[in-house]
Structure 1
Amino acid sequence: MKSILIKSARIVNKESSHHGKEVNVQIKNGKISYIGDDAPNSDETIEAQGMILSAGWFDLQAVFADPGHEHKEDLLSGAAAAAAGGFTGVALLPNNKPVTQGKNDVKYLKSNNQDTLTQVYPIAAVTLDCKGVELTEMIDLHVAGAIAFSDGLRPIWHTDILLKSLQYLQKFDGVLINRPEDIHLNMFGVMNEGISSTQLGMKGMPTLSEELIVQRDLELLAYAGGKLHLSNISSAKSINLIKEAKKKGLQVTCDMAAYQLDFDDEDLMSFDTNLKVNPPFRTAKENKALFKALKEGVIDVLVSAHNPQDEDSKKLEFDLADFGINSLQTVAHNIATLAKDIELDTLIEKVTAAPRKILGLSNPVIEEGENAELTLFSPDYEWKLAYNTNFSKSENSPYWNKAIKGKAIATFNNDKSYIHKQ
């Protein structure tokens, strides 16, 4: 890789001696070759005034749909979208066809890592075919390189399976990730249950469907021990339950989709199927509680919740359309929006050090001689996610072709770079 000079960026990296400083950073041959006030000769210069240079962002939850649905996304297009979104690492949910449940499945997902900027970290299924009935061989999967265990887009509905998983994973200090959802309460639901769903005549998905499972999971965690991560939290009561569990010393963490607070259920009056997600967009009141939890640190991580869908899955009546947003490249916009009221350093932590800590990975350090695994982020850059900027195979985004602020300007890792041409 040619030498690149990043001029006048502010370092956000608590592990670095340069944290909080505005400096010039040179990258050469995949390494950080210089940090300081000078401007050594370089093949390319990026003017980075007003921008943040951090450790490469890490996404704790995405779907690449490969194998099985490569027309929606594949490993290479997903990695390209992730790099353009600022992510140097992505943890992939197991909901492929076939499900990630064997050694060869893990090996396949990691097969392009040596050639791509963004590295894939497979999350293996807890149960065979994610059906919640029979446990997978988790020790073998761990040895094969699975970073964590989850049924991904499907909740672990079977109480005994959840209990046994928490106990089993303690043998190698593994992390269980569960999406809290009572599938029976949410059956046929398409949006948040409330005034808006009643006015639209659509079947609602109550916050109770999440809260019951959060409470169940936390009770089982207190009983069995282990490490539990609850994904895609969307309810104020869920937050309060998690907050209390943390106070009791339970090893529980949680995340929220980065886009969750950008919309509420009233926005679905437009019947835009790109706003159909699970968990659904809740009320403005619930959003305020989630925002407070994010600010206070109860919510540990922001995830892309990237779930690409093709045109045939979205251009349907609202109740027939599939759930999901193409969201890897717009997390930077979500962070820029949240930064109006939350410290940027706090938000950057939730997409760098925090997800890696949960998975037992070290956070890259911005020091001379270290590998250049970096993300350069501009909170003020205006752009559009459109045909000429979209790296995903899918277009199912509520931000599509709309002017938004906040973008990853450059991403570096594995002796490779993505640089947005401004």
Structure 2
Amino acid sequence: MNILLKSAKIINAQNKELHLKKRDILIKDGTIDKIAAKIEAPKDTQVVDLKNLHVSLGWLDSSVCFGEPGYEERETISNGLRTAALSGFTDIVLNPNTHPIADSSSDIVFLTNAARDSATNLHPLGTMTMGGEGIDLAELYDMHNSGAVGFYDFKSPISNSNLLKIALQYVQNFDGLVYSQPLDVKIAGKGLVHEGITSTKLGLKGIPSLAEEIQIVRDLFILEYTEGKLHIPTVSTANAVKLIADAKKKGLNVTCSVAIHNLYFTDEVLEEFDTAYKVYPPLRTKKDTKALIKGVKDGTIDFVTADHIPLNIELKAVEFDNATYGSVGLESAFGLLHTLFDTETCITLLTQGKERYNIAENDLAEGRKACLTLFNPDVDYTFEKSHILSQSKNSMTLGESLKGKVYGIFNNNQLILN
């Protein structure tokens, strides 16, 4: 396949010669053949000439759920990867949130095989414990050899401190990455939303910030004792950012992420008891969102993520207490993020971090594999149900004013466009 991208503004801060320049980009058989001010289209070449076309290296999302196997009614692997591609993502890290859960090498092989011919690369996580039950370690080494990029009992905290200690020690033999969900379940109790003024006003049981922070303190102490590689997913409180910043100053090998909706929304949106806003970790206060945004800007927070969780309507169209946590977010990720940060910052956030998962880095240069995201950052629009590409439609972003349209991606010698 030969592709010519016409008059594409390149966003790649690492390449000073091309950054913010408009160039034609000729791609032959999946490789960038030529980058120049003007290129005549060779024979048998598809010309892509889109309004205000911008191009960057392919984007990564570090927290994505589908449904297959077991919950195909929520999302299949094929449609999930198509959704990711049309949302600008050339790489996604897939959470073990299926049935059966991915806790063995054969489960990892199934997932990688199912995604083999897709434009978007799927990088699976395996569970840290058997069945994700937090009791016995899963087959970490075997899953690693089969392609697992880390180990995570999805949204389930590791209550057994010694188990986390052993996992961090064990994975050092093969440079493995351990996740630890920041939640002390005893302190969280039966909480549903952030504990504060809004929860009190609405009469909903609250999850105090302390429940997140005390678990992070424990995890960081264990990491300091064991060494190893730790990732703390989807932090949500101001003090969590401070704790992780202090740990990084001490030289601990820790990374963390934040869900984009935790940067944008606060718990004030819960006043209508709309289950679309029931997510975990919960939406918190303006003080927290300000601290999280600051943490993103200063590099304390390593990843922004859509924290994409498709859920069929039966799990959301119920009383607030009984609704399942989660929202789809791939389709609105760029538009939402671009309301908070300028274009260059957004692209930096969306393209960084592959080395944490030992995913091969790329470059936007002649002779390199073409792994690109195509977008127009200057489109303003209201996010509507028609914009949701997932099988499940549980989006908390409906009705929001977003900025930036994704055209699609070119990756694995495939052009996927909206």
TM-score w.r.t. structure 2 length?
Answer: 0.95
- Asked whether the 8 Å contact 1:221–1:250 carries over to 2, the reply is yes
1:194-205 alignment, distance < 5 Å? 194-205=196-207
5+ residue gaps, structure 2: none
In the other structure, the counterpart of 1:9 is: 9
- Asked whether the 8 Å contact 2:88–2:374 carries over to 1, the reply is yes
Distance 2:216 2:405 in 1: 33
Distance 1:139 1:368 in 2: 37
1:9-408 alignment, distance < 5 Å? 9-12=9-12, 14=14, 17-41=17-41, 42-47=45-50, 49=52, 51-339=53-341, 343-354=342-353, 356-383=354-381, 385-386=383-384, 388-400=386-398, 403-408=401-406
- Asked whether the 8 Å contact 1:235–1:286 carries over to 2, the reply is yes
Alignment RMSD: 1.7
Distance 2:66 2:347 in 1: 23
Task: Report the secondary structure of 2:144's partner residue.
Answer: helix
Distance 2:146 2:8 in 1: 42
CA offsets, 1:155-197, max 9 Å, x none?
A: 2221011100100010011111222111222232211100000
Tell me which amino acid in the other structure corresponds to 1:43: Q
CA spacing shift, 1:300–1:402, aligned 2, 3 Å: closer
Distance 2:258 2:393 in 1: 22
Match of 1:415 among 389, 413, 416: 413
- The offset of 1:92, in angstroms, is 0.8
CA offsets, 1:291-346, max 9 Å, x none?
A: 1111111111111100111111111111111100111111111221122xxx5333
Distance 2:187 2:15 in 1: 44
- The offset of 1:19, in angstroms, is 3.2
- Asked whether the 8 Å contact 1:16–1:367 carries over to 2, the reply is no
Distance 1:305 1:345 in 2: 22
CA offsets, 1:245-275, max 9 Å, x none?
A: 1001111111101221211011110211111
Distance 1:32 1:68 in 2: 39
Distance 2:265 2:415 in 1: 32
Distance 2:272 2:49 in 1: 40
- Asked whether the 8 Å contact 2:105–2:139 carries over to 1, the reply is no
- The offset of 1:368, in angstroms, is 1.5
Identity of aligned residues (%): 36
CA offsets, 1:179-222, max 9 Å, x none?
A: 21112222322111000000000011111110001100000000
- Asked whether the 8 Å contact 1:265–1:282 carries over to 2, the reply is yes
- Asked whether the 8 Å contact 1:12–1:52 carries over to 2, the reply is no
Number of residue equivalences:
415
CA spacing shift, 1:367–1:84, aligned 2, 3 Å: same
- Asked whether the 8 Å contact 2:32–2:367 carries over to 1, the reply is yes
After superposing the two structures, state which structure 1 stretch, 141-150 or 19-28, moved more.
Answer: 19-28
Distance 2:282 2:379 in 1: 29
Runs of 4+ with deviation above 6 angstroms: none
- Asked whether the 8 Å contact 1:13–1:366 carries over to 2, the reply is no
Task: Report the secondary structure of 1:234's partner residue.
Answer: coil
Distance 1:28 1:7 in 2: 17
Task: Report the secondary structure of 1:338's partner residue.
Answer: coil
Tell me which amino acid in the other structure corresponds to 1:411: I
Distance 2:414 2:70 in 1: 28
TM-score w.r.t. structure 1 length?
Answer: 0.94
Distance 2:62 2:55 in 1: 20
Distance 1:110 1:391 in 2: 22
Distance 2:189 2:236 in 1: 18
- The offset of 1:28, in angstroms, is 3.3
- Asked whether the 8 Å contact 2:8–2:23 carries over to 1, the reply is yes
- The offset of 1:39, in angstroms, is 3.3
Distance 1:362 1:394 in 2: 31
